[in-house]
Amino acid sequence: MNYKITKLMTLSGILIAMMNFTSCLKDAKAPNLSPDAGTSATVGIWIDNSDGAVDGVGGGYSQGGTFNVFNRTIKFFPSADTAKLNVTVAYLGPDVAPQDIQVTLAVDAANLAAFNTTGAFSGNWGFNVTQPNATDVWSIPTTVTIPKGQKQATVQVKLKNSIALGQPYAMPIKVSATSYGTVSTNQASAIYLFQRVNNYDGLYMVNGTVTDALGAFTGKYPKYVELMTYDANTVVMLDQNYGNFYYIITNLASGGASNLSGIGFRFDASGNCTNVYSAPGGSLGSPTFGTLASGAANKFTPQVNSYSPNPAFVINFTASAARFNINDKYTYVNDRNDAN
């Protein structure tokens, strides 16, 4: 008898514990949508990647936990005044926004001034990165609404094509107020470093053929290269895998990588490639490094969307006193994320 009572009591205890545990699970999962819910939730800011731009170093550069810095290129294509910086404001609560949240934005010149005193990015950008002139900006948003049931909303800083080519700029934006919750202590502001580049600038995948008259080398494909703005109509090539201004080829005997000089391309107003330059270290050298093949389809087709299925251009040229014949197809992948 005692055994049965003990067994029943034990089973009853297990059932009660299970009921309490289940109740806790339900309470933990159920969203709390009362008027006071989420008032401790925070609102933050970062750059959005939906336009093909990629965040800066490591997904954003932080100097001592004080600055959130993003680094990107901008170009004005297909029309003259289409460049923009996407600013995304996010609700950082555990669930979606329980109501419309109006967020107030402001230019944070003080944050940019503090950033400049640190010397961060000074190697590429100098010690005094400035905001663009007011005449170079169409609009800077002052408010954005995160809709009920969403986690974020995006607005755009719209830029004019009067911005100088190759000049580094910064747009410091902060969340100054929110109609719900509190402003994040470490994601309330961001500095968007940017630089205008030409239409040929970007990250490309290269496929093709390299024919060596002496039979010692062949091509190395596919390769990913950055074509970096040199002037309005010229780019120089940086190989992403090797991190240098080389044209990489393969040694047939060893299978290892070797290189020709760095190269650069110049295009005319119609997008036709007119010169292949040597570009050691990224500096433009001889305009006769490569000789374009007669009748080659070297015309550049500007790309709007990332990962275009069609090549941006095809280059057929000879190099090193006609020893190498190079026939390459450059397919646009994305904008570069390391403007400098």
Q: Which of 43, 178, 180, 44 is nearest to 103 (CA)?
A: 178
- Distance of CA 114 to CAs 109, 173, 257, Å? 9, 14, 44
Contact 262, 246 (CB under 8 A): yes
Contact 197, 229 (CB under 8 A): yes
- Distance of CA 320 to CAs 155, 212, 220, 231, 289, Å? 50, 10, 17, 25, 7
pLDDT tens digits, one per residue of 243-279: 889 899 999 999 999 998 889 999 888 888 888 888 8
Range of lowest pLDDT (111-115, 213-217, 325-329): 111-115
Contact 198, 165 (CB under 8 A): yes
Range of lowest pLDDT (34-38, 53-57, 308-312): 53-57
pLDDT tens digits, one per residue of 101-135: 999 999 999 988 888 887 666 555 566 888 999 99
Q: Give me the pLDDT at residue 315, please.
A: 87
Global pTM value: 0.74
Q: Give me the pLDDT at residue 83, please.
A: 82
Contact 296, 325 (CB under 8 A): no
Q: Give me the pLDDT at residue 25, please.
A: 32
In terms of CATH, what superfamily is 42-196?
Answer: hypothetical protein (bacova_03559) (2.60.40.1740)
* Mean local confidence (pLDDT), 92-96: 84
Asked if the model's pLDDT at residue 55 lies above 50, the reply is no
pLDDT winner (highest mean) among 5-9, 23-27, 254-258, 319-323: 254-258
pLDDT tens digits, one per residue of 19-40: 343 333 333 333 333 334 444 5
Provide the residue type at 47 as one letter: I
Give the Cβ contact number of residue 178 at 10 Å: 20
Asked if the model's pLDDT at residue 8 lies above 50, the reply is no
Contact 332, 308 (CB under 8 A): yes
* Mean local confidence (pLDDT), 213-221: 96
Give the Cβ contact number of residue 285 at 10 Å: 16
Instruction: Delimit the CATH 2.40.128 region(s) of the chain.
Output: 202-334
* Mean local confidence (pLDDT), 159-168: 88
Provide the residue type at 66 as one letter: T
Asked if the model's pLDDT at residue 15 lies above 60, the reply is no
Q: Give me the pLDDT at residue 19, please.
A: 39
Candidates 3.40.390, 2.40.128, 1.20.120, 3.40.1440; correct CATH number of 202-334? 2.40.128
Instruction: Delimit the CATH 2.60.40.1740 region(s) of the chain.
Output: 42-196
